[in-house]
Amino acid sequence: MSSSIHPTLSLIILLLISTSCLTAVSSPLYNEEFTLCLLDLEVYLPNPKVYDQEHPNFDTLLQSSAQNLRYLMPSMPKPELLFFPQYELQVQDGVFCSKSSGIHLRVRSGGHDYEGLSYVSQIESPFLVMDMSNFRSVNVNMTEKTAWVMAGATIGEVYYRIAEKSPIHGFPAGICTSLGVGGHITGGAYGSLMRKYGLGVDNVLDARIVDADGKIHDRAGMGEDLFWAIRGGGGGSFGIMLEWKIKLVPVPSTVTVFTVTRTLEQGATKLLHRWQQVVDKLDQNLFIRVMIQVVTAGGGKAERSVRTSYNALFLGTANQLLTVMQKSFPELGLNRSDCIEMSWIQSVLYMAGYPSGTPPEVLLEGKSRFKNFFKGKSDFVRYPIPETALEGLWKRLVEEDSPLLIWISFGGMMSKISESSTPFPHRKGTIFMIQYLSLWDNASEDAAKHMDWIGRLYNYTAPYVSKFPREAYVNFRDLDLGMNKNGTSFIPPSVWGTKYYKGNFARLVQVKTKVDPDNCFRHEQSIPPLPLSLRGKGITD
């Protein structure tokens, strides 16, 4: 077991062993207590970077990586403190001091949580945010073909550092390059290499985590159960990820990308129906997602229509791609002129939507390209959605101001990995995943209207998507599915837990009960430990 703990901290833990996460009582002086606690423990370190709400930079720092502006509205609860640890010891001490001062802890890496869970608590008060953005290093080892990547690094920084060392290696994770490695990989991490190599979590070799007692464990120290749970069980449930050891995967020196657009007038409905029939069976070097948006032809609402964009990465040359497409999906009518050959790192920028010619160094800025107000949901599809149902979908899409659906192709390696090998269970039999989004730019807009629209759309698609359970992707966090401690309308965690993890939920609860029985790491949809009355009986609620 590789475990390290500050000696002073160990002593205080022993003295205050009764300070459990569940029994901590808030004090009016918790802000000061937290900071003083850190100072006491860290006499030989520079002052910890802790900001309270009175600090002139508080708002800027809170907003720094928060991706969903809906969760920055004045009506949303604000953390009492923002804590930016710079040393591992401060992460360990932060866990201890949050407990001893009775202030609930949230952890943030890249801030992309759909429901703002890394910087807003709707169920705990007071709370503080531990922001991991100072933990950014990416150490690539080309002899081993591995890298240690810290939780606060963005996935774009990881891609850049790999490409810097080798143009023929990559890593299969998210398409959006500003995602934080800490939260992203814990939920699965799909991307355009997934049909060839699986998810980010399928390519993790080791990890280092701070547990509820402030101890650090690597894979050998934490054991295989916890190592399994953190590879898809979702962020914020089991501890604080410090870093991951990832396995690099080979990519060709030349890859090919394309984006082909079809409107309804150009036969988009039939084509999308065909895409659903072939997409999970395509050559696994080919990843095609479809972005579905509403376009306005001449200005008025009556002229709104639907546009589908087939956005793809092929691990090979344009000529090889044309052969594959001619054989498997000729209906798209892909031409040589649609295909752009480039290096893998350039394809990362292309798929992330950067303008042509953007230098890869932009990835080192570690910033998101856009922020908006949004609500998202997800589904998994096992049988092609019929054309008539697609037509009904279009009618609903044009009712909304700025809807976006992204259909993400599965199959290939995703079908070869068993449902229980990681907590991410959406594997064999899934043709594609749907990401539903309603986006808006203006704080004055009626959020309830957009939430209502997406809820109705989700009801509409129910007959056409996975059932019993209706599956969902934990990294597209959706609090409509239920949440811990939600007052009157309590939905048992097993209901939404089964949607995210299917049969793996029970094992996640067992691991949680073992490693964090006091539920120190918790949020609106964290994995709950077994209630005391059920412990030892292997029952989940």
Ligand X SMILES: Cc1cc2nc3c(=O)[nH]c(=O)nc-3n(C[C@H](O)[C@H](O)[C@H](O)COP(=O)(O)OP(=O)(O)OC[C@H]3O[C@@H](n4cnc5c(N)ncnc54)[C@H](O)[C@@H]3O)c2cc1C
Judged by CB under 6 A, which of 79, 85, 126, 191 binds ligand X?
191
Token output for 468: 């019993």
Rounded distance between C-alpha atoms, residue 276 and residue 73, angstroms: 39
Token pair, residue 464, equals 């056409």
191 or 403: CB nearest ligand X: 191
- If binding is defined by CB under 6 A, does position 231 make contact with ligand X? no
- Interaction of residue 498 with ligand X, rule CB under 6 A: no
Q: Does 236 bind ligand X (CB under 6 A)?
A: yes
d(CA 446, CA 70) in angstroms, rounded, equals 11
* Token pair belonging to 203: 């390519």
**Least Å distance between CB 447 and ligand X?**
17
Residue 434 binds to ligand X (criterion: CB under 6 A): no
Q: How far is the CB of 278 from ligand X (least distance, A)?
A: 22
- Exactly one of 21, 163, 241, 527 binds ligand X (CB under 6 A); that residue is 241
Q: How far is the CB of 151 from ligand X (least distance, A)?
A: 4
x/- letters, 438..477, toward ligand X (CB under 6 A): -------------------------------------x--
| Among the residue ranges 38-46, 114-122, 335-343, 482-490, the one whose residues contact ligand X (CB under 6 A) | 114-122
Write out the two tokens for 140: 């690539």
Helices 344-351, 155-165: axis angle to 10 degrees equals 160
One-letter amino acid for residue 466 of the chain: S
First and final CA of the chain: distance in angstroms? 32
- Say how far apart CA 165 and CA 267 lie, in whole Å: 44
Q: Which stretch binds ligand X (CB under 6 A): 159-167, 183-191, 215-223, 495-503?
A: 183-191
186 binds ligand X (CB under 6 A): yes
Please report whether residue 315 would count as binding ligand X according to CB under 6 A. Answer: no
With respect to ligand X, which residue has the nearer C-beta, 258 or 373? 373
CB of 525 within 8 A of CB of 183? no
Query: What is the secondary structure of 428-440 as a DSSP string?
Result: TT--EEEEEEEEE
- The DSSP 8-state label assigned to residue 338 in this structure reads G
Among 6, 70, 99, 108, binds ligand X (CB under 6 A): 108
Amino acid identity, position 265: E
By three-state DSSP, how is residue 224 classified? helix
Q: Which two tokens stand for residue 374?
A: 């949004």
Q: Which is nearer to ligand X, 156 or 191 (CB)?
A: 191
Amino acid (1-letter code) at residue 42: E
- Provide the mask over 516-535, with x wherever binding to ligand X is found by CB under 6 A and - wherever it is not: -------x------------
Tokens of 391: 């037509």
Site size toward ligand X (CB under 6 A) is 34
Write each residue from 138 to 177 as x if it is in contact with ligand X (CB under 6 A), else as -, in one continuous string: -------------x----------------------xxx-
**Tokens encoding 66:** 């928060």
Residue 257 binds ligand X (CB under 6 A): no
- Residue 118 binds ligand X, judged by CB under 6 A: yes
**CA 164 centroid distance within chain:** 25
Q: Which is nearer to ligand X, 209 or 268 (CB)?
A: 209
> Taking CB positions, which residue lies at the least distance from ligand X?
235
Q: How far is the CB of 102 from ligand X (least distance, A)?
A: 19
Q: Specify whether the CB–CB gap between 310 and 275 falls below 8 A.
A: yes
Q: Count other C-beta atoms under 10 Å from residue 337's C-beta.
A: 8
